[in-house]
Amino acid sequence: DDDDNDDDDDDDDSSEEVDDVHAPIRWKEVVDEESGKTFYYHLDTKKSTWRKPVELYKASSSRRKRRLLKKQEKQKQKQKQKQGTNKNNKKKQQTGGLRRLPVVKSPTELINKARKVAFKTTGDKKVKNARNRARKEGAETMDAITKALCVPLRDVVNGYKYELRNLHPFEKVVADLTVRARQKKDGLTLQDVLNDIHEARKEVLLAGKDWTAKAKNAETAREAMETMNEGEERMYELFEDLAGGPVKLIIELQKALRTTPAVRLDTPAVVLVGAPNVGKSSIVRAISSATPEVNNYPFTTRGMTLGHVQVFWKDDTTTAAAVIPEANAKGRFNEEALSGSYAFTQLCQVMDSPGMLVRPDSKRNEMEQLTLAAMQHLPTAVMYVMDLSGGAGDKCSSIEDQLQLRKDVRSRFPRRPWIDVVSKYDLGLVDGSREQMHEILDGSPYIELSIQDDIGVDDLRDEVMRMLGEVRVVLDAMAAVDERNARPTPKKRED
């Protein structure tokens, strides 16, 4: 009886062990037509059984393990990619990248360092044969000199490319403007200089390999030493001729880029925008808590005035909960003014931007482009300053041009916190200018300001506080999503 035979075979089949889980499976799964049950038939031994063989269990388990390992490996790769993306995003979200550019040493310093490396490279006393010892010393010395000259050049090129690629958008504009100013001076771009350094490195590297081979294959010990001494001096001369000029240029450019002022991304700021000579710098000095600093950019002799307002926030949620206590003549806050209870204090920025004119972006100078970049890439509110007294300057700063500029800038940044200011109000207004302004503003509020007569200064401070509060709330909302945008830990006021 086949059924009896199957039952007898069950014990033998189930006890079989398979050492190689990757061996071909010789069992075939078959469905019995009469009973509808599944039995297993061995293709080699011709045996059959109703019980699932051990080989099939092991093969199935092995496949599951392989699938699990593949799945885990894919998850690890995705996690690494995500971490790399977050790391790059973190770098791009931070300013100060221009100050992280690799430090470049002068050609003289690099050559002197190579001389020291060559001096420290001595012969191997374990090699008894004088010729072989001289060959080895000459080859190792030339190889050490080649590395000492080429590695710094390689690091400069790679370091600049990496840092420039990961710059914050605002600093990319600053770097581009700096390089373009340099290009106007001598016709060279940063990429040209980096390419020259790269080509110089390749030539020095090839020459170093040639001199290393000559020293290694010298016929005598004397020839090996003479080759080493000659090759050393030739390498220094070649380095000075090919890499000296580009390295000096990159050092000059580096000084300009590394001294570029860094703007904080976690601090609310107000940028003053307007035509030239409308009184922006005076406003910064009037509403700042201390003497403003002047940030000089390398592509212009015109500095950017950056003032700071020490703001005391009454609570940590609302936008209009900021105050500036009264300060004494030295800009210090009185103890009586600080006797109240505040949630925290924060040093906010007030930035005076260079004057802008009504013209296409393609014709704007470097400072105008810097102003637009500050509004586009930095967490700022906008204070648009107008001088309607008729004394703003030449025809480029006429009332009509100032109002048109206001219209253009506002349409470009419609969602920014915004306040319009009519400065130099004590000088009066040109006839018809108020009506022209009302037409452009279309019902938007504005402040009439006179620093000299102290008109509207307090109202302006209140409005600045309101806008700083709006920017702070946006920054805090961004920090809730990404902690990299969080402001510094606030200083709590004690009761």
Which pLDDT band holds residue 373 (cuts at 50, 70, 90)? Answer: confident
Query: Tell me, what's the pLDDT at 6?
Result: 46
Mean pLDDT of 458-466: 87
Which pLDDT band holds residue 320 (cuts at 50, 70, 90)? Answer: very low
- Answer yes or no: is pLDDT of 494 > 70: no
Taking each helix axis as running N to C, give the angle between helix 366-377 and helix 399-412, from 0 to 180 degrees, rounded to the nearest 10: 40
Query: Tell me, what's the pLDDT at 338?
Result: 45
Query: Tell me, what's the pLDDT at 134?
Result: 92
Q: How far is CA 81 from CA 73, 84, 166, 168, in A?
A: 12, 5, 17, 21
Query: Tell me, what's the pLDDT at 229?
Result: 94
Query: Tell me, what's the pLDDT at 396?
Result: 64
Lowest mean pLDDT among 53-67, 220-234, 257-271, 355-369: 53-67
Sign of the Cα torsion 458, 460, 465, 466 reads positive
User: pLDDT for 127-136, tens place per residue?
Assistant: 889 999 999 9
Three-state secondary structure along 418-487?
EEEEEECHHHCCCCCHHHHHHHHHCCCCEEECECCCCECHHHHHHHHHHHHHHHHHHHHHHHHHCHHHCC
Q: Output 90 or 139, whichever has higher pLDDT.
A: 139
- Answer yes or no: is pLDDT of 382 > 90: yes
Q: How many helices (H) and strands (E) does the chain have?
A: 12, 11
Which pLDDT band holds residue 327 (cuts at 50, 70, 90)? Answer: very low
Which pLDDT band holds residue 492 (cuts at 50, 70, 90)? Answer: very low
Sign of the Cα torsion 256, 259, 260, 265 reads positive
Across 145-159, 289-303, 372-386, the highest mean pLDDT is recorded for 145-159
Query: Tell me, what's the pLDDT at 410?
Result: 93
Query: Tell me, what's the pLDDT at 478?
Result: 64
Q: What percentage of the chain reaches a pLDDT higher than 90?
A: 31
Query: Tell me, what's the pLDDT at 57?
Result: 63
Name the average pLDDT for the chain.
Answer: 78
Taking each helix axis as running N to C, give the angle between helix 169-186 and helix 190-216, from 0 to 180 degrees, rounded to the nearest 10: 80
The angle formed by the CA atoms of residues 375, 379 and 384, to the nearest 5 degrees, is 45
Please name the residue that has the structure tokens 């006179």.
450
Residue 324: burial class (beta carbons within 10 Å; 0-12, 13-18, 19+): buried
Strands 344-352 and 269-274, bridge-based pairing: parallel
Taking residue 490's Cβ as centre, other Cβ atoms within 10 Å add up to 13
User: pLDDT for 268-281, tens place per residue?
Assistant: 888 999 988 888 88
Which pLDDT band holds residue 394 (cuts at 50, 70, 90)? Answer: low
**Is the pTM above the cut of 0.85?**
no
Closest CA to 371 of 384, 385, 358, 352: 352
- Answer yes or no: is pLDDT of 445 > 70: yes
- Answer yes or no: is pLDDT of 19 > 60: no
User: What φ, ψ does residue 484 adopt, rounded to 5°?
Assistant: -65, -25
Closest CA to 440 of 401, 391, 390, 394: 401
Which pLDDT band holds residue 8 (cuts at 50, 70, 90)? Answer: very low
Which pLDDT band holds residue 11 (cuts at 50, 70, 90)? Answer: very low
Residue 114: burial class (beta carbons within 10 Å; 0-12, 13-18, 19+): buried
Three-state secondary structure along the chain?
CHHHHHHHHHHHHHCCCCCCCCCCCCEEEEECCCCCCEEEEECCCCCEECCCCHHHHHHHHHHHHHHHHHHHHHHHHHHHHHHHHHHHHHHHCCCCHHHHCCCCCCHHHHHHHHHHHHHHCCCCCCCCCHHHHHHHHHHHHHHHHHHHHHHHHHHHHHHHHHHHHCCCHHHHHHHHHHHHHHHHHHCCCHHHHHHHHHHHHHHHHHHHHHHHHHHHCCCCHHHHHHHHHHHHHHHHHHHHHHHHHHHHHHHHHHHHHHCCCCCCCCCCEEEEEECCCCCHHHHHHHHCCCCCEEECCCCCCCCEEEEEEEEEECCCCCCCCEECCCECCCCCECCCCCCCCCCEEEEEEEEECCCCCCCCHHHCCHHHHHHHHHHHHCCEEEEEEEECCCCCCCHHHCHHHHHHHHHHHHHHCCCCCEEEEEECHHHCCCCCHHHHHHHHHCCCCEEECECCCCECHHHHHHHHHHHHHHHHHHHHHHHHHCHHHCCCCCECCCC
User: pLDDT for 172-201, tens place per residue?
Assistant: 888 887 777 777 777 777 888 899 999 999
Largest CA distance in the chain: 121
Cα–Cα dist 313/471, whole Å: 13
Cα–Cα dist 310/298, whole Å: 29
Letter string b/e over residues 178-196, b meaning 16 or more CB atoms within 10 A of that residue's CB = bbeebeeeeeeebeebbeb
